[in-house]
Homo-oligomer: A and B are copies of this chain.
Amino acid sequence: MEINDLLYKESEWLKGIGPKSDIVLSSRVRLARNLADHRFFNQASNEERIKIRQEIMEGFKNVKALKGTTTINIGEISDVDRDFLVERHLMSIEHTEDGDAKAIVFDDKEMLSIMVNEEDHLRIQVLQSGFNILNAWSVINKLDDEIAEVIKYSFSDELGYLTACPTNLGTGLRASLMIHLPALVLTNQVGKVFEAISKLGLTMRGLYGEGTEATGDMFQISNQVTLGHSETELIESIARLIEKIINREATTREMIMTKNKTEVQDKVWRSLGTLKSARIITSNETITLLSVIRMGVNLGIIKGLDLRTVNELFILLQPAHLQKMEKRNLNPEERDRKRAELIREKLKKVEE
Give the B-binding residues of A (Cβ under 8 A).
Answer: 262-263, 265-266, 269-270, 272-274, 276-280, 337, 340, 352
Contact = CB atoms under 8 A, between A and B. Distances in A.
B279 A276 contact: no
Given A262-B337, A266-B278, 15 more contacts: A262-B279, A262-B280, A263-B280, A265-B279, A266-B279, A269-B277, A269-B278, A269-B279, A270-B277, A273-B273, A273-B274, A273-B276, A273-B278, A276-B352, A277-B352
Contact of A273 (B262, B266, B277, B280): B277
A274 B274 contact: yes
Contacts of A279: 262, 265-266, 269-270
Contacts of A274: 270, 273-274, 277
Contact of A270 (B263, B269, B278, B352): B278
Contacts of A273: 273-274, 276-278
17 contacts: A262-B279, A263-B280, A266-B278, A266-B279, A269-B277, A269-B279, A270-B274, A270-B277, A270-B278, A272-B277, A273-B273, A273-B274, A273-B276, A273-B277, A274-B277, A276-B352, A277-B352
Nearest to A273: B277
Contacts of A266: 278-280, 340
A155 B269 CA distance: 60
A266 B266 CA distance: 21
Contacts of A352: 276-277
A344 to B, nearest CB: 8
A279 B266 CA distance: 5
A14 to B, nearest CB: 26
A280 B270 CA distance: 10
A272 B280 CA distance: 15
A1 to B, nearest CB: 37
A279 B263 CA distance: 8
Contacts of A270: 274, 277-279
A348 B266 CA distance: 16
A122 to B, nearest CB: 46
A262 B336 CA distance: 11
A138 to B, nearest CB: 44
Contacts of A263: 280
A177 B273 CA distance: 34
